[in-house]
Amino acid sequence: MNIEKSKKEFARAQEVIPGGVNSPVRAFKSVKGSPLFIKKAKGSKIEDIDGNTFIDFVGSWGPMILGHAPDMIIDAITDAAQRGTSYGAPTIIESEMAELICKMVPSVEKVRMVNSGTEATMSAIRLARGYTKREKIVKFAGCYHGHGDSFLIKAGSGAITLGLPDSPGVTKSIAIDTLTADYNNIESVERLFSEYKDQIAAIIVEPVAGNMGVVVPNAGFLQGLRDITKKYGALLIFDEVITGFRLAKGGAQEYYGVMPDLTTLGKIIGGGLPVGAYGGRKDIMDMLAPLGPVYQAGTLSGNPLAMAAGLVTLKYFDSHPDFYTNLEKNAAKVEAGFKRNLREAGIKGVVNRVGSMMTLFFNDKEKLESFDEVMTSDRERYAEFFHLSLESGIYLAPSQFEAMFINASHSDEDLDNLLKANLEALLKLK
């Protein structure tokens, strides 16, 4: 496969962009490769600047649930752009979008639009602290909530040890207010609340972990978090930037039947454009300025282009009752095919899936339920597998610890080609 143009452009980009990319995972470092520069995309396919075409199972890291550049979304964006791209003033479409989110996401009574998932999680944490008048938060090892300072913290020795900064630039004074627990380990959460009691404002969690690869919540884990926060007067925040409108119309909270106090959203609600949102109970959301004392603002919040794209996307789900059933069927086909291929190739692996998001881990454990467990996966083997898949026209995440996504644009032929390429790659692995 010829990628000389991409290599040349990567060298050029590195002269003016740190690392040559505007988001680290795009650099292909963990798969020891050179990133592809994309020229265009439509439906389930992407094409790089060298003319190579791939079936895309990354989908811009989740937003492209309808596939790339659906005509209805392009038409909505074009129509909105002709009336202006930003006003810095209220528009009707913002209210329409908010009404639809409140209708579809079970726990959301009011919602505030922002510009990214990171901005949504940062704002939700500030709101939780302002509402509870407490300063500490609990997060989970391996769960990613954007690059806000409070979230770039790793656990110390033991679950109740105060966090240490995980990135230069994050101060110890910020780290001291972030406590790290173990995903799927409710006892580690109980220990933190027993130690810090009325100092904890909120738990923030990806209800399905998607940023250490897909890790599924054990039965009772999410409900356990709900029970603990109620017991101690803290808030429960579901980071549904990935799972929102991915697992169901109402996201993971509908899928699992557990209602948080606040929810963060992103990715899919922008229809492919930059967007974020956070929402929840009215009494909490009404603490926000200009109504309340918790300040948050944004010049481009509720941008008319993103609102137009997102509104068309959410309306599509609302008008197609079989949408998620079809996604589930196709994703189940891929999961079963991956497992069958692993057996046929004699390769040890674990396939974790919820709905249309999944990860194939190269790991000899029977199951993977935590950050420590997934980190024992064979990154070298995944890197080899990634490049073999790429050679066969399959575009997967350039990291063992990311999710792949099945989208509505993937045809039966696309999925058959994926499974064929998957088996061929597994058979070639060392």
How large is the C-alpha radius of gyration of the chain? 21
Residue from 249, 267, 278, 378 carrying the catalytic annotation: 267
Using CA atoms, how far apart are residues 320 and 410, in angstroms rounded to an integer?
17
Residue from 239, 261, 378, 414 carrying the catalytic annotation: 239
Using CA atoms, how far apart are residues 252 and 9, in angstroms rounded to an integer?
39
Q: Where are the beta strands (DSSP E) in 259-388?
A: 262-266, 276-280, 350-354, 357-361
Residue from 131, 144, 196, 255 carrying the catalytic annotation: 144
Sign of CA dihedral 14, 19, 25, 28: positive
Using CA atoms, how far apart are residues 194 and 192, in angstroms rounded to an integer?
5
175's CB contacts (< 8 A; 6+ apart) are 153, 162, 163, 164, 165
Using CA atoms, how far apart are residues 331 and 352, in angstroms rounded to an integer?
11
Is 324 labeled as catalytic in the residue annotation? no
Is 420 labeled as catalytic in the residue annotation? no
Is 333 labeled as catalytic in the residue annotation? no
Are the CB atoms for 309 and 81 separated by under 8 Å?
Answer: no
Catalytic residues: 144, 239, 267
